[in-house]
Amino acid sequence: MNQSVNAPPLWKQLQQVARVNQAVMSGASGTSVLETVDPGLRSGVQALCFYVWRNWGRAQALRALLVRKAPPPLADALLCSALALTWQIEDNAYDAFTLVNQAVEAAKRQSATNAQANFINACLRRFLRERDALVAATDLDPVALWNHPRWWIARLQKDHPQHWELILRAANQHAPMTLRVNPRRKDPQTYLGLLQAAGMNGQHLSANIIELQRAAPVQAIPGFEDGWVSVQDAAAQVAAPLLVEGYLAPGPWRILDACAAPGGKTGHLLEITDAEVVALEVDADRAKRIGSNVQRLGLSPQVIVADAGAVQTWWDGSLFDLVLLDAPCTASGIVRRHPDIRWLRRESDVAQLAATQRQLLLTLWPLVKPGGRLLFCTCSIFRAEGDAQVQAFLVHNTDAALMPSPGHLLPHSSPAREVVADNSLGDHDGFFYALFEKRKA
Ligand code: SAM
């Protein structure tokens, strides 16, 4: 959490942090609420919010020790945000006393929390006096210790008994900025040289994947506007090559990208093939982003706004060589980049999303040519959205053969680079991949 010297007053930022958190804890997505923050405050508020979400479990446990009854929602969001920001002494841009003073100032200066300013002040001062004992008491609570909901921790313990701690640790780290070099424009070695010339350092991980040493705004990245590179996590970059490599049918191929927005994988497919790509997306607003993202690369898919599951509304009856089903999921593999997700999801979402994935998989399979392939993927680390789907699908579809596939890719944490089986990609998000081939009759 870095705050620049010219940052707006902290109390102003904390008011926005509390407002954003109140909305997120009532179910709104952090990304969309942050877009409503005044542009002059947004980057500082976002940095504070990300820190708060990574420490929200601890903050709530501390608040439960400090007060018997939570104050009204906005005051509670301000109190918990201040606790999240002050409970760790190291690793903070502000000292704890400044944070507490500014949180009280934030409460005083808006009518919705003014009446609770003295209460917030008393809670936070007591916290500062008794910090060590209070923090030690919350260490016994797994939600405080891991900063994830209890059901989420239990599911990971069951799904990944060897790696659940590593996954939770990784989820609280910052994700690196990773680029995908467009092979139609540059090769990774040439591009590394261009980065260096621009005073930026990168590391070539594999294929067209480059990890930047330090994140930068896309406008500062050489050739971004000209489509030389895209920003895409290393695990997400597995999709397009996995689907097409070794597929030997004569072209031109027809590829369906069934859940395509914002078009990251559509662009990758067009970069590495000369196929005709149909990009389907159910959400009309999100679909607009496919065109703009792919145009930057100088490429053009056929974009259709439709529900992939309602085949009769969009399909012209010609079979596809290759189908990419990047299905809607809990996004449990990308919480490093979206730290609010863990607090937004409910346990019941897992089964609901898994049912949608199962249905899409069953509906799209008949659209694949004999000898063709379907790649099922989710950015989830829950087995219900990965391995379990594959087992169920194979039982009912005897014309499907599972090809060599990565399965569950587990997220890595940057500084420690803890070793799990799939570490050849370097630091990446959590993902799941299963590639099916349709047997010829
Ligand atoms: N493949 C995209 C990429 O790499 O940029 C990310 C896809 S995101 C995981 C899933 C997308 O599927 C969302 O944009 C969502 O709106 C869309 N979606 C969900 N249900 C769908 C459906 N039934 N038909 C088509 N698109 C759907």
Position 426 pLDDT exceeds 80: no
Name the residue at shortest CA distance from atom 1 of ligand 1: 260
In ligand 1, which atom is closest to the CA atom of 268?
Answer: 4
Position 38 pLDDT exceeds 90: yes
- CB proximity list for 185: less than 8 A, separation 6 or greater: 223, 226, 227, 228
Of 145, 151, 150, nearest to 169 by C-alpha is: 145
Calpha distance 379→398 (Å, rounded) = 26
Look up residue 67 and give its two tokens: 């007060």
Calpha distance 142→139 (Å, rounded) = 7
Position 413 pLDDT exceeds 70: no
What separation in Å is there between the alpha carbon of 114 and the centre of ligand 1?
43
| pLDDT (0 to 100) of residue 419 | 46
Calpha distance 121→105 (Å, rounded) = 9
Of 180, 281, 293, 338, the residue with max ligand 1 atoms within 8 A of its CB, to mutate for a pocket test, comes to: 281
**Number of alpha carbons in the 13 Å side-chain half-sphere of residue 50:** 18
Ligand 1: residues whose CB is within 6 Å? 259-265, 280-283, 286, 307-309, 326, 328
| pLDDT (0 to 100) of residue 93 | 72
Once rounded to an integer, what is the mean pLDDT over residues 336-350? 97
| pLDDT (0 to 100) of residue 415 | 46
Inter-CA distances, 78 with 32, 115, 140, 186, 238, Å = 19, 13, 24, 48, 41
Q: Are 301 and 278 in contact (CB under 8 A)?
A: yes
Position 417 pLDDT exceeds 70: no
Q: How confident is the model at residue 327 (pLDDT cuts 50, 70, 90)?
A: very high
> Which alpha helices (DSSP H) does 130-263 contain, by range?
131-138, 142-146, 150-159, 164-171, 188-197, 239-244
Structural domains in the chain, sorted by start: 10-145 (1.10.940.10), 178-231 (3.30.70.1170), 236-438 (3.40.50.150)
Q: Are 84 and 59 in contact (CB under 8 A)?
A: yes
Q: Are 39 and 112 in contact (CB under 8 A)?
A: no
What separation in Å is there between the alpha carbon of 256 and the centre of ligand 1?
12
pTM of the predicted model, to two decimals? 0.94
CA dihedral (277, 280, 285, 290) in degrees, to 10, reads -20
Question: pLDDT > 90: what percent of the chain?
Answer: 89
In ligand 1, which atom is closest to the CA atom of 307?
Answer: 24
**Sheet (strand 202-206) strand order:** 202-206, 209-212, 178-181, 229-231
pLDDT tens per residue, range 11-35: 999 999 999 999 999 999 999 999 9
**379 catalytic, yes or no?**
yes
Q: Are 429 and 171 in contact (CB under 8 A)?
A: no
| pLDDT (0 to 100) of residue 441 | 77
In ligand 1, which atom is closest to the CA atom of 290?
Answer: 5
Question: pLDDT > 70: what percent of the chain?
Answer: 95
Q: How confident is the model at residue 206 (pLDDT cuts 50, 70, 90)?
A: confident
User: Which of these ranges, 6-15, 278-287, 370-379, has the smallest mean pLDDT?
Assistant: 6-15
| pLDDT (0 to 100) of residue 167 | 92
Calpha distance 85→78 (Å, rounded) = 11
What separation in Å is there between the alpha carbon of 355 and the centre of ligand 1?
15
Q: Which helix (H) or strand (E) holds 294?
A: helix 284-295
pLDDT tens per residue, range 136-171: 999 999 999 999 999 999 999 999 999 999 999 999
pLDDT tens per residue, range 356-365: 999 999 999 9
CA dihedral (38, 39, 41, 45) in degrees, to 10, reads 90
Once rounded to an integer, what is the mean pLDDT over residues 374-401? 97
Considering the candidates 80, 329, 377, 379, report the single residue annotated as catalytic: 379
Q: Is the peptide bond before 217 cis (omega within 30 degrees of 0)?
A: no
40: left (phi over 0), alpha (psi -120 to 50) or beta: alpha
| pLDDT (0 to 100) of residue 176 | 92
| pLDDT (0 to 100) of residue 343 | 97
pLDDT tens per residue, range 59-112: 999 999 999 999 999 999 999 999 999 999 776 678 899 999 999 999 999 999
Once rounded to an integer, what is the mean pLDDT over residues 290-315? 96
How many other C-beta atoms can be found within 10 angstroms of the C-beta atom of residue 60?
A: 21
Q: How confident is the model at residue 427 (pLDDT cuts 50, 70, 90)?
A: confident
CA-angle at 109, arms to 74 and 63, nearest 5°: 35
What separation in Å is there between the alpha carbon of 37 and the centre of ligand 1?
26
